[in-house]
Amino acid sequence: MGTVVLDVTPAGRFAPSPSGDLHIGNLRTAVLADLFARTSGRRFLMRVEDLDRVREGAEERQLADLAALGIRWAEPVIRQSERRDVYAAVVDGLTAEGRTFECFCTRREILDAPSAPHAPLGAYPGTCRDLTDAERDERRRTRPAAIRLRADVTEFTVHDALHGPFTGDVDDFVLRRNDGTPAYNLAVVVDDTATGVDQVVRGDDLLSSAPRQAYLATLLGATPPEYAHVPMVLNRYGARLAKRDGAVTLADLAEQGVDAAGVLSMIATSLGMADQGESVTLDILASRFDPARLPREPWVFVPGHGGVPA
Question: Is residue 13 part of an annotated ligand binding site?
Answer: yes
- 101 assigned to a ligand binding site: no
What CA–CA distance (Å, rounded) separates 20 from 30? Answer: 16
> Has 124 been labeled as part of a binding site?
yes
Nearest to 73 by CA among 151, 160, 14, 9: 14
* 61 labeled binding residue: no
Residues with active-site annotation: 243
Cis bond before residue 76 (omega within 30° of 0): yes
Does residue 116 have a known ligand-binding role?
no
Q: Is 16 annotated as a binding residue?
A: yes
Runs of H (alpha helix) within 203-242: 210-219
Q: Is 105 annotated as a binding residue?
A: yes
What is the Cα 73 distance to its own chain's centre? 17
* Strand order across the 199-203 sheet: 164-169, 155-160, 226-230, 199-203
Query: Rounded to whole angstroms, how far apart are CA atoms 82 and 260?
Result: 31
- Distance between CA atoms of residues 12 and 34, nearest Å: 8
**19 annotated as a binding-site residue:** no
Give me the residues paired with residue 168 across strands: 156
Q: Rounded to the nearest 5 degrees, what angle is found at the Cα of 157, between the Cα atoms of 119 and 150? A: 55
Does 17 appear as a known binding residue?
A: yes
81 assigned to a ligand binding site:
no
The CA distances from residue 221 to 1, 120, 196, 231, 283, in Å, are 6, 28, 13, 30, 36
- Tell me if 128 is assigned to a ligand binding site: yes
Q: Please give the annotated binding residues for Zn(2+), written as ranges.
A: 103, 105, 124, 128
Q: Please give the annotated binding residues for L-glutamate, written as ranges.
A: 13-17, 49, 184, 202
Q: Please give the annotated binding residues for ATP, written as ranges.
A: 243
